[in-house]
Amino acid sequence: MGRMQDKLAIVTGAANGLGEAIALRLGAEGARLALFDIDSAGLERIAATLRGQGAQVLALPGDVTEETVVQQGFARIAAECGAIDVLVNNVGGSRNQRIWEMSAEAWDFTIRLNLRSAFLCTRAVLPGMMERKSGAIVCMSSGAKEGTPWSAAHSGAAAYSAAKAGIHGFIRDVAWEVAPYGIRINAVAPGPIETDRTRAVFAEMNATLEHSPKRMVPMARAGQPREIADAVLYLASEEASYVTGVTLDVAGGR
Ligand SMILES: NC(=O)c1ccc[n+]([C@@H]2O[C@H](COP(=O)([O-])OP(=O)(O)OC[C@H]3O[C@@H](n4cnc5c(N)ncnc54)[C@H](O)[C@@H]3O)[C@@H](O)[C@H]2O)c1
């Protein structure tokens, strides 16, 4: 029996990077999955991989910052898959610019992508969890919640840092609100994690910046997506039954 056997888990941004690793990890532990992503081709690829490994998967292409997309997606999950046990609010990212040059559009895009997506999906999942008095939610913060020297020095990431600090505040308050209903909500704050998207960026930072990930992380390496997926699995599982309102740093010691 897997640690997530027959549980229904939702992962947003599951087509690439950390979301893909999280979906694969939860699937390997026996979870049934419903996966959101705006990249429909990537979503089909990961869904096919998971089905090949025996998992039941519902693929939901769409933009989870859009209220109707989220509402319709969760209605489909309820109709086709039943009650939800786990929600992983993984979608996030940024449009970095120096703060004195940052457009209001870039600022709004970053805040919306990281915070509105987590808010909309959390709001959508809660009524069912509250009714059953059970459920676990994991959100994706970042080491950037306290600012990251390499991102600041490389391209300016203040909007991203503000958004990821916002995730920490979000889970702290929501944990209080939902604890009486037997629901837990936590966050994982990854340090620099090597994915197809970040590999070249980190290599450039390590070659050019004094305050680069390699020099600033005590363990002197980037993390692997599997190391984030393991932390998400822990927080989503019964093993974390007395853990809520916590942002867990998985960041090589920084
Ligand atoms: N990789 C890192 O080093 C790192 C470090 C700290 C935090 N994080 C956080 O972890 C999460 C995943 O990061 P990643 O590096 O895997 O990112 P990524 O950009 O590689 O993957 C994000 C996924 O989300 C999807 N997506 C983007 N916008 C969407 C939207 N509006 N609706 C639905 N899907 C959408 C993308 O298509 C993609 O599949 C993010 O919240 C990110 O901020 C990553």
192/99 Cα distance (integer angstroms) = 22
Q: How far is the CA of 85 from the centre of ligand 1 (A)?
A: 22
pLDDT tens by residue, 115-147: 999 999 999 999 999 999 999 999 999 999 999
244/122 Cα distance (integer angstroms) = 15
DSSP codes of every residue in 145-196: GG--HHHHHHT--HHHHHHHHHHHHHHHHHHHHHGGGTEEEEEEEE-SB--T
Q: What is the mean pLDDT of the chain?
A: 98
What is the residue whose two structure tokens read 């040059």?
Answer: 101
CB atoms inside a 10 Å sphere around CB 172:
16
87/7 Cα distance (integer angstroms) = 11
Which helix (H) or strand (E) covers residue 135, if one does? strand 135-140
Under 8 Å between Cβ of 91 and 36: yes
What's the confidence (pLDDT) of residue 113? Answer: 99
What's the average model confidence in pLDDT over 77-100?
98
pLDDT confidence bin for 52, thresholds 50/70/90: very high
27/49 Cα distance (integer angstroms) = 10
What is the residue whose two structure tokens read 């070659």?
Answer: 207
Is residue 1's pLDDT more than 90? Answer: no
**Single-letter residue type at 178:** V
Per the structure block, which two tokens stand in for 128? 């069912």
Domains along the chain with CATH numbers: 8-250 (3.40.50.720)
Binding pocket residue ranges, ligand 1, CB within 6 Å: 12-13, 15-19, 36-39, 42, 63-65, 90-93, 113, 140, 142, 190, 192-193, 195, 197-198
Residue with CA closest to ligand 1 atom 32: 63
What's the confidence (pLDDT) of residue 93? Answer: 98
| Cβ neighbours of residue 90 closer than 8 Å, sequence gap 6 or more | 11, 12, 13, 14, 18, 19, 22, 140
Q: Ligand 1, from 24, 25, 38: best to mutate by most atoms within 8 Å of Cβ?
A: 38
CB atoms inside a 10 Å sphere around CB 28:
17
Which helix (H) or strand (E) covers residue 235, if one does? helix 225-236
DSSP codes of every residue in 214-231: HHHSTT-S-B-HHHHHHH
Which helix (H) or strand (E) covers residue 23, if one does? helix 17-28
**Bridge partners, 87 (sequence order):** 10, 137
Q: Report the Cα 61 to chain-centroid distance in Å.
A: 17
Residue with CA closest to ligand 1 atom 31: 63
Is residue 241's pLDDT more than 90? Answer: yes
Q: How far is the CA of 92 from the centre of ligand 1 (A)?
A: 4
Q: How far is the CA of 44 from the centre of ligand 1 (A)?
A: 17
Is residue 96's pLDDT more than 90? Answer: yes
Active site residue 242: no
